[in-house]
């Protein structure tokens, strides 16, 4: 049985449809290739240019060990050591990635002005920690940009945890970094605010905040993140067995004449002076 022939206009439409399918196939393949390339780029570590020192060349981290042996010896324990490049040019991406090429420093016998010292300018740290650079521009921040303190006052760039006081499990050790300056918050207290055991950064952002005292959240909302509250049908807010509705209207929990000793108290279990 002979198959009936299609009209000419129908044959033309069929050819166009096949052509469109081919175009869509190529577009899909192109998009897939582009997506794969983007994924590849996003998972590849970016190597940043080291600080520049006019006329200096790279000498490698081994040359640093001649004078700075304790630092180079312990650097393998540092959090920063995990960022060191591997492979052929690894010797040129170590100490000099933060301090700049060291040939002039070596030739001068260690003259201070021949090498980059991140304590002179935090911009060396900011070339990797861009989000921290932004926080130091917020209204309330530690005076790092002003040169009054340095990143190394709180961080260990060369040995162990980058946060002074220990690793992630040593929270009270991390608090010791803050207690270097904020001695009045150290204690010991007869009545301790348990939030301190979670770490100072539970309530404060040490690099900068839009809120006073570097608070991560403004006003009593900060306290209500941990302290369970019950709101009744008539609009009253209870924390524990105390109606706090009128109290909270006076101001923040620590400025309404109630919990002034918020870090801990020697005389009152509600953190009053």
Q: Helices H, strands E: what count in the chain?
A: 11, 5
User: How many C-beta neighbours within 10 Å does residue 53 have?
Assistant: 19
User: How many C-beta neighbours within 10 Å does residue 122 have?
Assistant: 20
What per-residue confidence (pLDDT) applies to 136? 94
**Residue 36 near residue 44, CB atoms below 8 Å:** no
The rounded distance, in Å, linking the Cα atoms of 89 and 8 is 67
Instruction: Name the one residue in this structure whose structure tokens are 């260990």.
Output: 156
Count of residues making up the chain:
273
The rounded distance, in Å, linking the Cα atoms of 212 and 218 is 8
Residues 6 or more apart whose CB falls under 8 angstroms from that of 210 comprise 138, 139, 140, 218
Q: What is the mean pLDDT of each run of 10 residues along the chain (273 residues)?
A: 50 52 60 54 56 90 91 89 62 77 93 90 89 94 93 91 68 80 91 90 94 91 83 76 78 81 92 84
What per-residue confidence (pLDDT) applies to 203? 94
What's phi and psi for 121, nearest 5 deg? -155, 125
* Sign of the torsion angle spanned by Cα atoms 142, 147, 148, 150: positive
What per-residue confidence (pLDDT) applies to 232? 74
Tokens of 47: 């190597």
The rounded distance, in Å, linking the Cα atoms of 126 and 118 is 10
What is the distance, to the nearest Å, from the Cα of residue 249 to the centroid of all Cα atoms in its chain? 35
What per-residue confidence (pLDDT) applies to 43? 43
The rounded distance, in Å, linking the Cα atoms of 273 and 258 is 9
The rounded distance, in Å, linking the Cα atoms of 98 and 126 is 11
Q: 249 vs 1, 236, 244, 252, 253, CA distance in Å?
A: 92, 12, 9, 8, 10
Report the run of H or E that residue 242 belongs to, with start and end. Answer: strand 242-243
What per-residue confidence (pLDDT) applies to 208? 95
Residues 6 or more apart whose CB falls under 8 angstroms from that of 37 comprise none
H helix intervals, the chain: 8-42, 61-65, 69-74, 96-99, 103-107, 123-126, 130-135, 171-179, 195-198, 221-224, 245-248
Tokens of 146: 């002003």
Q: 242 vs 224, 225, 256, 261, 270, CA distance in Å?
A: 14, 17, 15, 19, 12
Q: Which residues pair with 238 in a beta bridge?
A: 230, 243
What per-residue confidence (pLDDT) applies to 197? 86
What per-residue confidence (pLDDT) applies to 50? 79
């Amino acid at each position: 049985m002979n198959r009936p022939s299609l009209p000419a206009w129908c044959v033309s439409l069929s050819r166009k449809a096949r052509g469109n399918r081919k175009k869509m196939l190529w577009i899909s393949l192109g998009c897939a290739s582009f997506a794969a390339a983007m994924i590849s780029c996003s998972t590849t570590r970016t190597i940043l240019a080291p600080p520049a020192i006019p006329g200096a060349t790279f000498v490698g981290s081994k040359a640093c060990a001649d004078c700075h042996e304790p630092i180079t010896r312990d650097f393998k324990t540092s959090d920063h050591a995990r960022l060191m490049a591997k492979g052929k040019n690894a010797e040129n991406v170590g100490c000099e990635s933060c301090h700049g090429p060291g040939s002039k420093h070596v030739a001068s016998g260690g003259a201070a002005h021949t090498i980059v010292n991140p304590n002179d300018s935090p911009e060396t740290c900011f070339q990797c920690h861009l989000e921290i650079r932004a926080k130091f521009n917020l209204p309330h921040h530690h005076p790092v940009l002003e040169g009054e303190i340095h990143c190394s006052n709180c961080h260990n760039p060369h040995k162990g945890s980058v946060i002074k006081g220990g690793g992630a499990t040593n929270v009270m050790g991390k608090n010791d970094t803050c207690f270097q300056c904020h001695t009045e918050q150290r204690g010991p207290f007869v009545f301790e605010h348990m939030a301190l055991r979670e770490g100072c950064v539970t309530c404060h952002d040490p690099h900068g905040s839009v809120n006073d005292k570097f608070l991560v959240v403004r006003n009593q909302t900060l306290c209500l993140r941990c302290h369970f509250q019950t709101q009744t049908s008539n609009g009253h807010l209870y924390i524990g067995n105390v109606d706090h509705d009128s109290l909270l209207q006076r101001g923040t929990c620590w400025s309404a004449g109630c919990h002034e000793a918020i870090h801990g108290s020697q005389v009152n279990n509600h953190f009053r002076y």
